[in-house]
Each structure stands twice: as structure tokens, then as C-alpha cells.
Structure 1
């Protein structure tokens, strides 16, 4: 399963074969984004889960600059599990292309909803304010803030989108 799609003049997106060691590429991208992925335990958990999840990769001039890993929870819903775009490649349409391509896959599978969890606005982190703005622009809407999931110091915002 090695599908690809061209993204404007930026590069291409690929859904790589499951035998490909996805977590190695993702780790280099996540470690380059400590503002978002600075908690080592969480980063290692993401890497472990990525190997079991469908993951799309964005390539620009033969270099991996971003990825999006998603989970299907049931016949109706999936989750944008983890996503990263190298800082120097942000704001060039790569994240949008990854989200849109994933949505096309989910729609083909007749899923109705997808969700993403991110740091809630009650936490003052400016990088996650950018993240929430991105998800809002992509059509996700805030559903609920949860403090039980990641703890009081890291309130989780659950956002959803109807496909």
C-alpha cells in the first residue's frame, strides 16, 4: 500500500507500506518540534503507536517534512492521533494537505466523524494556541475540555469534525 498524491508545488504525500519503519521518520520530525513534543514519555508513546496506525508522510524535494498518523476507533469515527510538520516547512500548506488527504481516506471508508485532542485554551501555551487555530481553520470544533485525561496541568481539548 504505497499511495501518493502531489500537493501543489510543495511536494507529495505518501501513505507508506506498514512494513516501513514509520516511527524513525516521525521521531526525527517530533524531536525537531520540542515546543509541542517536549515530554519524552509522551513522545515515546506516540512513536510506539505510530507503528500500528496508518500514517501519511509529506515529502518536499525527497525530504520528509511532515506526517499525520490516525486511528480508526470504530465504524463511525477516527482520530487524528499525532501530526507534525517541521518548523521551517510550516505555513506552506503541508499540514492542510495532510489533513485533507486523510479526510478523503476516511470518507472513502464511510466514516462520519473524526476527532483530535490538543492542549486546551485554559493552558497559556502559545504554540498550542497556533495548533488550535489550525484545527479550527480545518473545520474541527471544540467539543469538551477534559482534565482527567492528561491531568490538571495539561487540560485536553477534544475537537470533532463531521466528515
Structure 2
């Protein structure tokens, strides 16, 4: 079941449980804590199986017409089951209902780490297009690839 999560404490509890289970993608404690903290103020869509969250994503406004897929995680045991795509479909409907025209997402450039190559391929499969590479946004080991999509 995919649903919107409104309760601030539930948002942070879900973000913490999913992100800490994915150290390959969320292995920098300060960054992970920042995602958890910021989730309280963002639109959260989560996937549940028997009342337990197995994935979530958050949307954050970055401009009058643009929303960012700020963070997304699906438990590894649930990868490749369509959960990410289902959450994304729900999130894009919500973004369109809020009159956003574009959605963007930032990730590590393709070719740097196998896990992030999977992430890049996932975003491309959703229909995102390369927008800009910002090699120094985070650090030299993690060049930032920005993808964008029209809603």
C-alpha cells in the first residue's frame, strides 16, 4: 500500500528505519541525519506491507514551479518489486496537483559507484533526463548529477 504520511514523528521514524538499513547509499551519518530531520517538513510518500514501511520518498519545493525528489529509499529486500516506481507515480501525481511543472533529483554521477549506477538507471527508467553535472557541489569523490523531468 502506498500512502502519504503527514505525522512528523512517523515521517522521521520511517526515514530513520529505511535510511539506516541502506548504508551503501546513506553511509555518511551527518547526511543521513539531515535527510531524517528535513523529512519532517517535506511531502512524504511511503510504501507499507502489513503496516511496516518498506520504502519512502520525500518531495521538497525548490522553486515556484519545481519540486525535488529530495530523498528516496527502498529496503534492499524489496528492490525490483515496483515499489520505487509506484511511490514515484504517486509523488508525481501529488506534485502535479500542487501545480508544479518540473521535478528534479540529484544523485552521484554514473560510473563512480555500482550502487549509484543502479540509482541512475532507475531515474532514467522513470523518464528523467540529464540536466546538469555539478562536480563540486558535494565533493570531488561524489560529483552531483542533476536529472529533471516535466510533470
**Taking structure 1 as the reference length, what is the TM-score of the superposition?**
0.89
The runs of 4+ residues in structure 1 deviating greater than 4 Å are none
Map 1:5-154 → 2, pairs under 5 A = 12-123=1-112, 125-154=113-142
Paired residue for 1:156? 144
Aligned CA RMSD, in angstroms, stands at 1.1
Measured in 2, the distance between the counterparts of 1:145 and 1:126 equals 18
| Displacement of 1:15 | 0.8
The verdict on how the C-alpha distance between 1:143 and 1:19 changes in structure 2, with shifts beyond 3 A counting, is closer
Measured in 1, the distance between the counterparts of 2:28 and 2:48 equals 26
| Displacement of 1:122 | 4.5
> How many residue pairs get matched?
151
TM-superposition CA deviations, 1:71-130 (whole Å, max 9, x none): 01222100000000000011111000010000001111221111000000242x001000
Counterpart secondary structure, 1:82: strand
Counterpart secondary structure, 1:36: coil
| Displacement of 1:62 | 2.0
Q: Gapped runs of 5+ residues in structure 2? A: none
Counterpart secondary structure, 1:35: coil
The structure richer in strand per residue is 2
